Copies of this chain bind each other. A is one copy, B any other.
Amino acid sequence: MLKGKIAKLAVSDVRFPTSLEQHGSDAMHANPDYSAAYVVIETDDGLKGYGITFTVGRGTEIVVCAVEALSTLVIGKTLEDIVSNFSGFYRCLTSDSQMRWIGPEKGVIQLASAAILNAIWDMWARAEGKDPKQLIRCIDFRYITDALTEQEALSELISIEEEMLKEGYPAYTTSCAWLGYSDQQLTQLCSTALTEGWTKFKVKVGADLQDDIRRCSLIRKMIGPENSLMIDANQRWDVAEAISYVTKLAEFRPLWIEEPTCPDDILGHAAISKALAPLGIGVATGEQCHNRVMFKQFLQASALQFVQIDSCRVGSVNENLAIMLMAAKFRVPVCPHAGGVGLCELVQHLILFDYISVSASLENRMCEYVDHLHEHFKSPTVIRNAHYMPPKDPGFSSEMFDESVQKHQFPHGEVWRSILEKNGS
């Protein structure tokens, strides 16, 4: 199954008009249209692989352009060429001696690499099973050996039992309290979530302190003292501002403040962590942390207490393995970012690997869940009693229905044709 050559790579600009109802709104992204650069690769013997990278609307065409540029490094290779030296292929894709200049390993070009690598992982997972030791050989250890060597990574790999299949992996919900929702909407969604068994809730904050005090107070009252509340500022503040603002929300006992400042500011996050520790509030970040070298430093500097990996921001499973293994070495729990479109589908695989093969613990661990757009995926996430149930179909759960892709193509799919006509453009 690994002998066929990758003969085709097609990439689509797929956008969902989520901004029309303020789903996903936060302090920095007022009106996101959840979108994806969606990649389909196909070998000359008919094997397919599906990969996405998540975006929020405008600019997706730039990622599509980058995927097309990188496709020359993929076409013509067999799956065996790639996976037999996967860290070598990873480096080839992320370090092309001309294209690395416009990264390196960050921004558009890293998102494009993620989409392609996600498709390759999907293809590989469809073709055959893998054992954890094989996974380690997919990591490019360059620049991180001072924090984690290949040998140490192997020794972190411990295997535990299959309770996951019964209980599932704990999830928290972000669906109740987007910034653009009214108090009434928030109350209603929260009340429904409680009856469905949710116990961990995230609230978007950061635009206006009085609003946030009112919203956090409302939610804390509804969920009671035992359940968990997390708050998320989506990079809104400067460092001192973050400390002062969050201190004023401490009475609502948030477990963490997420993205308090610029995602690049390791030392800033370290200062915030130090200031908030006496209040019992941790710092969480990672959804816009662009590579393993940044995560390494966040860990080295004790700048976060929750590592939020993302399945589409960094270089796919390869780089997320490195990040999860470093988190384990530094004894910091991994609580992935998800939501958007497809992020829940993909990241559930990573979090199960983290539990089964790396951390073996659920303490302080949970995975984000947002209840949107799953209907477009052939193997959608299954949530039972606020837990992710392990996916059972072969692959990376990243395949979308053809019809969904067609309808939501930007700008010529029927959904966008109709919206753009209405707007007179």
* Chain A interfacial positions (CB closer than 8 Å to B): 28-33, 55-63, 65-66, 69, 95-111, 142-146, 235, 238-240, 261-268, 271, 288, 290-291, 293-294, 296-297, 300-301
Contact = CB atoms under 8 A, between A and B. Distances in A.
Contacts of A32: 97-98, 101
28 contacts: A28-B95, A29-B98, A29-B100, A29-B101, A31-B98, A32-B97, A55-B98, A58-B69, A58-B99, A59-B96, A59-B101, A59-B109, A60-B102, A62-B62, A62-B108, A66-B108, A102-B107, A102-B108, A104-B235, A104-B263, A106-B264, A107-B107, A142-B238, A143-B262, A146-B271, A266-B266, A267-B297, A268-B293
A240 B66 contact: no
Contact of A294 (B100, B239, B264): B264
Given A98-B33, A100-B29, A239-B146, A301 B267 contact: yes
Nearest to A313: B101
A290 B102 CA distance: 10
A268 to B, nearest CB: 7
Give the secondary structure class of A's interface.
Answer: loop
A147 to B, nearest CB: 9
B300 A267 contact: yes
A101 B297 contact: no
- A58, A101, A261, A266 — most chain B CB neighbours (10 Å): A101
Contacts of A109: 59, 62, 107-108
B108 A28 contact: no
Nearest to A67: B62
A60 B103 CA distance: 12
B238 A264 contact: no
A62 B65 contact: yes
Contact of A56 (B56, B101, B111): B101
Given A240-B146, A265-B297, A290 B33 contact: no
Contact of A69 (B62, B98, B263): B62
Given A142-B238, A145-B238, A97 B31 contact: yes
B56 A98 contact: yes
B265 A58 contact: no
- A28, A56, A267, A288 — most chain B CB neighbours (10 Å): A267
Contacts of A143: 238-239, 261-262, 265, 268
Contacts of A65: 61-62, 65
Contacts of A144: 238
A296 B263 CA distance: 13
A136 to B, nearest CB: 17
Contacts of A63: 102
Contacts of A103: 107-108
A111 B102 CA distance: 7
B69 A146 contact: no
Given A102-B111, A265-B293, 5 more contacts: A29-B98, A108-B108, A143-B238, A146-B239, A265-B297
B55 A101 contact: yes
Top 6 nearest A-B pairs by Cβ distance? A107-B107, A108-B108, A57-B98, A58-B98, A59-B99, A143-B262
- A32, A97, A110 — most chain B CB neighbours (10 Å): A97
A300 B269 CA distance: 13
Nearest to A290: B106
A288 B66 CA distance: 19
Nearest to A263: B104
A111 to B, nearest CB: 6
Contacts of A59: 66, 69, 96, 98-99, 101-102, 109
Contact of A104 (B104, B288, B297): B288
